[in-house]
Structure 1
Amino acid sequence: MQFKYTVLLTALLSAGLVACNDDDKQQPEAVEQTPASIELVHLSRFETGVFAEGAAEIPAYDAASKRAFVVNAKKGAVDVLNLSKPEAPVLIGEISSRSLFAGSEINSVAVKNGVVALAVQAANKTDNGWVLLYKASDLSKPVAAPIQIGAQPDNIVFSPDGKSILVANEGEPNHDYSLDPEGTVSIIDIRDVSKPVLRTADFKAFNGQEAVLRTQGVRIYGPKDNSKAYSANNLTTAAQDFEPEYITVSADNKTAWVTLQENNALAKIDLTTAKVINILPLGYKDHGLSDNGHVVVQNGVEIKLGNSMDSADEGEKDGIGTKSKKINIVSKAGVRGMYLPDSISSYQAADGKTYLVTANEGDARAWGEDDDAYWLGNASKGFVEEFRVKHLTHSSGFDRRANDDLPPQLRQLAAGALLDPVTFAWCGATVGNPGDCRADFNLGRLNISWTMGYETDAAGAPVMYNASGVKDPMGNRLMYKNLYSYGARSFSIWDENGSKVWDSGDFFEKFLSSDSAKFGKSRNIAAKDFFNTGHDEGDAFDSRSDAKGPEPEGIAIGKIGNKTFAFIGLERTGGVMVFDISNPKKPIYQDYLNSREDFAKDPEAEFAAGHGSALGDLGPEGLVFVAAKDSPNGKPLLLVGNEVSGTTAIFEVKLK
């Protein structure tokens, strides 16, 4: 492992400006002011100049050395930034894993008590990966031998006491789904950092329980053998299907919770025994509710939240017969949002209980989507679960999309599909006819998972209907009772057993479509003019409404005084939402800041022309909160890695 020094880093080291972490010599901490509210101020950004290649993804921060560590997927490395002046970050070096493991990639980084931990993915992602450990004050070589862990380590975190490291080994399948490694969680004892001790929590104990778990709402739906027809009798095991994504650890260091994103569930782990003790299904968001029973406080006023959504993009006709800039956030009975959270964090509230906070991004399995052979009908070349409602329910059946975007596994199940005429009566569905439900301005453009929602028998096999909408064992049509869309377009607060305490409902979309929402670090761009925009395209009003909306992905939690705040990154729309979550049942909206500066120009063209710097920050991925006591300027900060613009944004959290 080689750390690439710059002249500045060498000068800092020779001047003795990089301190060691020595907790025994810390002075008593001053009592921190509890703010009435907070807001974000954009201080600076570090730019890689690389567009849409993940050149700034996951940030971490070390207080003693005043360094930020940012995953740069473009280089397969971690960029090291000097943040002693947060208004002017400076690149001082990088850590690359490729001198040890050819073709490897660093997926995640974490720092605690002066130790830097890296999650390293093998060149072949289905092979086992590694953890590498460094001292933040000396990155010239690892402090221990590489620790081999599971396949595709995707997230790495420290326990609050710094004695353990946990890694979510996602174990995604290869491109054609012919090999699907088991997902696992690595638990590494680093009390002696030079001699780490590895334990592994796996999901083998849940093999054989798949039917019960599905009944509870856990998604287990990957194909067992992709060379055979997709059916209820050809589904993979729980251990293979579970894909650990992000981890959070309780304040007492005894319990961890892991998002199983594609499975719409959390895994609860006993860290004493290194065993998964429960799988917690998250349920589904009923987009037919105009009142979801929760409230948010904004400007001192309680606002009732609903679960409405805008499901029609501007791709074809958003509105009846015309292509227009129409925002249509309404409730849609029969549409169920799968929470499918990416990031997770946790905190202890004033009642002494632990609460989990998730960013409900959504994610679809789309393996083999770039292989023409798959779309020509060879199911063994991939597995894609997304399909638009308008194509799912066309009266001519599925074959009209053959050799285009028809997943072969769907065609193996049936020749077409219908919508339940009772559930979807609101948009014109009748027996055997979807009516206007498949119109672009209703549900037609919405991407859903074809793998669930249709009527099944006790064994999980589809109940067949004929094209006229009559139940018929000889029929070839599926009957969809509900449609399941990706992500909940929200963030949620759960108790430690996975019961929902609060969900932001439709707040994100309604706020971003209002006159109050502004884009740009100077807050001078009307957000509604670029509602549900994409992060890698220009002039893209409404382009993400048919997918996952603003797409909340990253989350960080920070405590300031006696209050706890959540910072949620919106991957597609961009920017960071801020809430006071001290009361988990009634969060208080604080601020929204989006430091993208131009939404009209095509980012790819601007970067190619050398003008990318003027665009600002696009595509927030990972976030880290820096408390005032750890901050180089004595003020709380928020660091955000933006994967599309390749920038690391630095915000001051201003107390009010």
Structure 2
Amino acid sequence: LSMKKLEEKGVIMQKGQLPSSDFEPEYIAVCGSNAYITLQEANAVAILDLDNMVIKGIESIGFEDYSMVPVDIDKKDDAYNPKTYPTLRGIRMPDAIAAFTIDGTDYIVTANEGDAREWGDYINEDERDFGDGATSPTGAITAENSGLKGKVVFFNADDYTSLDSDIDYLYGGRTMTIFRVDGNNLTEVFTTADDAERITNEYLPEYFNASNDNAVLDDRSGKKGPEAEAVTVGEIDGKMYAFLALERTGGIMVYDITDPEESKFVNYINTRDFETVISGTEEYEDGELDKWVTGGDVAPEGLAFISANESPNGKPMLLAAFEVSGTVALYTF
């Protein structure tokens, strides 16, 4: 595909860079004769034809539209306070990916974490402090018209293709998205929208958008929120499920994806111990001592599903690796 065609498809590339040097392949899922490769920073998925060993498509996976989907981007209000913003979008930027087949049709599912390009001293983040009267990069979002008080990290769109100059962009979608494979193209059929923030707040209101190295309420709201990191799929009792790991807040969201277009949230599992904390020596901006989390399973990084046929006890299992706590958890269903 030419640079022009990639730009027309909405693939995000740095101007003046070739795809061969700009793309950063992240994860791979295989289904049938295709491999699906996330190109995280480019906000895209490449489709590799395994029979002919050629890339037959590179597709943008789109954006979360925060003019319609509420999002909490204020770390200073110490509460779950989602709002919509007419000019704000989340660049999904997929990290992990999984693939599955339903009734002969292939689907992929992406964990939309978000990630900045970093080369040496270069990083394309644009942090704005609304507490100091800053505005968003476009100037459309101000402290006055939004009520924002904290710092927000935006995507620095200077020198990048496929972006609208009238739109402000955040890193990541705070979501999981399902796409149907239509030949060389991908068609979105489901996204979790505001589920990750809304549901984690319902379960853990005192630790909403806490990070994986502290138990501070709202700490990650101005960055990538709960941070969708890993995803896998598996069949349990004749139904297909997707498991989405949230790296920062922690825990695993479970969805029934048997009918992909009508996917439904069914459970949230979090085995992190937020109460086991110690006071550290670093101070946050508000002067409070840092609280380093020490208990339970913290920061899920990778997931692996074990089917009932492969399981030693005949029951489906899910393995989760937690990078901060240095633990591995095994869940049975």
Q: TM-score, normalised by structure 2?
A: 0.88
CA deviation after TM superposition for structure 1 residue 604, in Å: 7.3
CA deviation after TM superposition for structure 1 residue 600, in Å: 6.2
Q: 1:219 to 1:560 in 2, by over 3 A?
A: same
Is residue 276–residue 293 contact of structure 2 (8 Å, CA) maintained in 1? no
Render the CA deviation track for 1:210-232: whole Å, top value 9, x for unaligned. Answer: 233223211111xxxxxxxxxx5
2:230 maps to amino acid: G
CA distance in 1, matches of 2:170, 2:159: 10
Q: Which has the higher contact order (CA 8 A, sep 6+)?
A: 1
Partner of 2:155 in structure 1? Answer: 449
1:311 aligned onto 2:73: yes
Q: 1:560 to 1:330 in 2, by over 3 A?
A: same
Q: SS at the partner of 1:511?
A: helix
Match of 1:506 among 169, 186, 194: 194
Partner of 2:12 in structure 1? Answer: 219
Match of 1:241 among 18, 22, 28: 22
Matching of residues 131-280 of structure 1 within 5 Å: 206=1, 209-221=2-14, 232=15, 235-250=16-31, 252=32, 254-280=33-59
CA distance in 2, matches of 1:436, 1:366: 32
Render the CA deviation track for 1:327-357: whole Å, top value 9, x for unaligned. Answer: 211111111101101111111113x211111
Match of 1:354 among 103, 106, 130: 106
Is residue 255–residue 271 contact of structure 1 (8 Å, CA) maintained in 2? yes
Is residue 229–residue 246 contact of structure 2 (8 Å, CA) maintained in 1? yes
CA deviation after TM superposition for structure 1 residue 599, in Å: 4.6
CA deviation after TM superposition for structure 1 residue 446, in Å: 1.8
Q: SS at the partner of 1:245?
A: strand
Sequence identity (%): 34
Is residue 213–residue 293 contact of structure 2 (8 Å, CA) maintained in 1? no
Q: SS at the partner of 2:157?
A: coil
Render the CA deviation track for 1:113-160: whole Å, top value 9, x for unaligned. Answer: xxxxxxxxxxxxxxxxxxxxxxxxxxxxxxxxxxxxxxxxxxxxxxxx
Partner of 1:281 in structure 2? Answer: 60
Partner of 1:440 in structure 2? Answer: 148
CA deviation after TM superposition for structure 1 residue 435, in Å: 5.7
CA deviation after TM superposition for structure 1 residue 634, in Å: 2.1
Q: 1:363 to 1:418 in 2, by over 3 A?
A: closer
CA distance in 2, matches of 1:613, 1:648: 17
Partner of 1:194 in structure 2? Answer: none
Q: SS at the partner of 1:499?
A: strand
Q: 1:555 to 1:565 in 2, by over 3 A?
A: same
CA distance in 2, matches of 1:439, 1:614: 34
Is residue 154–residue 171 contact of structure 2 (8 Å, CA) maintained in 1? yes
Structure 2: runs of 5+ lacking an equivalent:
282-291
Render the CA deviation track for 1:606-645: whole Å, top value 9, x for unaligned. Answer: xxxxxx9960100000000111222122221111000011
Is residue 172–residue 224 contact of structure 2 (8 Å, CA) maintained in 1? yes
Is residue 390–residue 438 contact of structure 1 (8 Å, CA) maintained in 2? no
Q: 1:599 to 1:532 in 2, by over 3 A?
A: farther
More strand by share: 2
CA distance in 1, matches of 2:234, 2:138: 47
Matching of residues 487-636 of structure 1 within 5 Å: 487-496=172-181, 497-514=185-202, 517=203, 527-538=204-215, 540-599=216-275, 601-602=277-278, 615-636=295-316
Q: How many residues align?
A: 318
Q: TM-score, normalised by structure 1?
A: 0.46
Partner of 1:76 in structure 2? Answer: none
CA distance in 2, matches of 1:256, 1:545: 34
1:354 maps to amino acid: D
1:344 aligned onto 2:88: no
1:564 maps to amino acid: M
CA deviation after TM superposition for structure 1 residue 558, in Å: 0.6
CA distance in 1, matches of 2:276, 2:158: 38
CA distance in 2, matches of 1:383, 1:537: 27
Q: 1:357 to 1:481 in 2, by over 3 A?
A: same
Partner of 1:385 in structure 2? Answer: 124
CA deviation after TM superposition for structure 1 residue 326, in Å: 2.2
CA deviation after TM superposition for structure 1 residue 556, in Å: 1.2
